[in-house]
Each structure stands twice: as C-alpha cells, then as structure tokens.
Amino acid sequence: MANSQRRSLRKASGGRYHHSRSKKKGELGGFPASTKLSKTRKVVPARGKGGNIKHVTLSTNLINVTDKKGKTTKTEILNVVGNPANVQLVIRNIITKGAIVETKMGKVKVTSRPGQEGTLSGVLI
C-alpha cells in the first residue's frame, strides 16, 4: 500500500472530511531508511520530486566527527548508545538524526540525516 502524506480523513472533532479526489503521486511519502550499524557501507540513490537525487544510507560504520575546536575527523562507530526519539532504535542499532553513538573519540551526537544524505556527521558530546 502507498505511504501517503495527505490530510487525515478525520476532523479534530471526530467527524469525517468528504474526500473529493483520489491520491496523487506528489503526495506519496517514502518509507524510513532505517540506517543500520554494519561493517559494510551501502548507499543507494533515490529519486525525489523534480528529479532530485537523494543518497539514502542503508548501512555504515563511519562518521565524520567535529570536535570542540572545529576539526573534523572520520572515525569508526562502535555502538549505538542512545536515541531520544525511540529506545527501540537503540536495541536494533539504527542510526537517525539525534542518535548518540560511541566512537573511538568518545560519544558523538549525530547531526546529519542518514536517510536523506549520503554521509553521517556528528559532534562530540
């Protein structure tokens, strides 16, 4: 079934809106990338509206870490430690924006969106 981003069929009061047309292609939404922590790096292109290309990261173990001085270093992710969005993502080792990962440099907060961009970046906590 298509993942739609249309308005809800229900009003705030619980009544129903009467729909006047069917779903349109421009209202389609994508499914979450669920970027996994894995030794192999897998990035796939996805077509967006207007022919834009997004690079969806499906699995990776590398992250660009920026320290307090502003120096950026590519390092390896050891483990997913926390995620304020959902605890289940930590159990499944899924990396999202805002997730806290453990690296060789210390704990890092992910600042990029791995499902929308091709690389991972973050800052030291």
- Three-state DSSP at 78 gives strand
CATH architecture type of domain 32-124: Roll (3.10)
pLDDT class of 29 with cuts at 50, 70, 90? confident
**Which one, of 92, 67, 98, lies nearest residue 79 by Cα?**
92
- Three-state DSSP at 95 gives strand
The two tokens of residue 53 are 């290309």
Taking residues 21-26, report their average pLDDT. 85
The two tokens of residue 21 are 């047309």
Q: Which residues contact 73 (CB under 8 A, 6 or more apart)?
A: 64, 65, 67, 105
CA-to-CA distance for 86 and 84, rounded, in angstroms? Answer: 6
Query: Nearest 5°: phi and psi at 29?
Result: -115, 155
Q: What is the CA radius of gyration of the chain?
A: 18
Minimum mean pLDDT among 17-21, 76-80, 89-93, 106-110: which range?
A: 17-21
pLDDT digits (tens, 9 = 90+) for 40-87: 999 999 988 889 999 999 999 999 999 999 999 999 999 999 999 999
Identity of the amino acid at 75: T
- Three-state DSSP at 88 gives helix
Domain boundaries, the chain: 32-124
What is the reported pTM? 0.81
Residue 2, pLDDT > 80, answer no
What pLDDT is stored for residue 27 in this prediction?
A: 86
